Amino acid sequence: MYLATTSSCKSPRLSSPLVLNYCSQDRNPSGIHNKMYMGLEKKVVLITGGTKGIGRSIVRAFLKEGATVHFCSRTASDVQAANETYRKDYPDSKAIGAVVDVTNKDKLTQWVNSTAQESSKIHIVIANVSSLSIEDSVENWHTAFQTDLMGTYHLIQAALPHLEKSRGNIVTISSVSGRDVDFTAPGPYPIMKAGLIHYTAGLAHTLASKGVRANTVSPGNIYIEDGAWGNIEKKAPELFASQMALNPMGRMGKPEEVADACVFLASERASFISGTNLVVDGSLCTGTQF
């Protein structure tokens, strides 16, 4: 299952401190990977949930590529702190944060349109925010539906006119929980993630004639020290150890590895890829995609 703060493994030896340190360690202040030279300079990117977890790494990855990145969070202090950090770490790129709750359709639409007006174009939209609603309760089902599905739907509906003009593309962040039954069942989290995969595939089919691509990235277990798995490690060590032990590669993934997948799919190197669900899970899933 993928769990991360938005911004988600088979042997006893896998839970050793060495493995955990490797999962969470940053190789340099801006992430472990260098610029990939994907031709994204001066592209305008919208990312929801860009201050924490995987979203934070996605913002960093696009800034490394020289893109202009507009990101949002519903917490003003997080946006302010992220703005300062990104501008310091990437002085040659441009990061613009905004306080936006994706469940507020009007505010979300206003943010998209103001971004398009300010930057003239929108080339790439990354729908990253999740409520991470795992517990099976009526309240969580409502929250997950409004955040994960309707938040993504309203974001893309607002961005589509601009993406059609730029012949841009969409990346949605789902999860391996959306395709494999795991410990998150029967709560809302895996259902919403499965819905995102199908929704994105439908977008790819209907938008292809307009030159707009749409793809999904489905992470497996992604370890972030201040994220969901970092908290589970501290508060529910038995659950953490059981999930850690499922990963055939002997570790959880890094958020930068998910971010690099997003950068690739959003670039012209993936110009004939649309409608795919790119699983970034270290072979955690055992099923076959047809």
Q: What is the pLDDT of residue 181?
A: 77
What is the predicted pLDDT for the residue at 226? 84
Q: What pTM value is reported for the model?
A: 0.87
For the chain, what is the HEC assignment? CCCCCCCCCCCHHHHCHHHHHHHHCCCCCCCCCCCCCCCCCCCEEEEECCCCHHHHHHHHHHHHCCCEEEEEECCHHHHHHHHHHHHHHCCCCEEEEEECCCCCHHHHHHHHHHHHHHHCCCCEEEECCCCCCCCCCHHHHHHHHHHHHHHHHHHHHHHHHHHHHHCCEEEEECCHHHCCCCCCCCCHHHHHHHHHHHHHHHHHHHHHHHCCEEEEEEECCECCCCCHHHHHHHHCHHHHHHHHCCCCCCCCECHHHHHHHHHHHHCHHHCCCCCCEEEECCCCCCCCCC
Which residues does the annotation mark as catalytic?
174-175, 189, 193
32 pLDDT higher than 80: no
pLDDT of residue 6 exceeding 70: no
Dump pLDDT digits (tens) for 152-201. 999 999 999 999 999 999 999 999 988 877 877 789 999 999 999 999 99
Domain boundaries, the chain: 12-280
The topology under which CATH files domain 12-280 is Rossmann fold (3.40.50)
Q: What is the mean pLDDT of residues 29-33?
A: 51
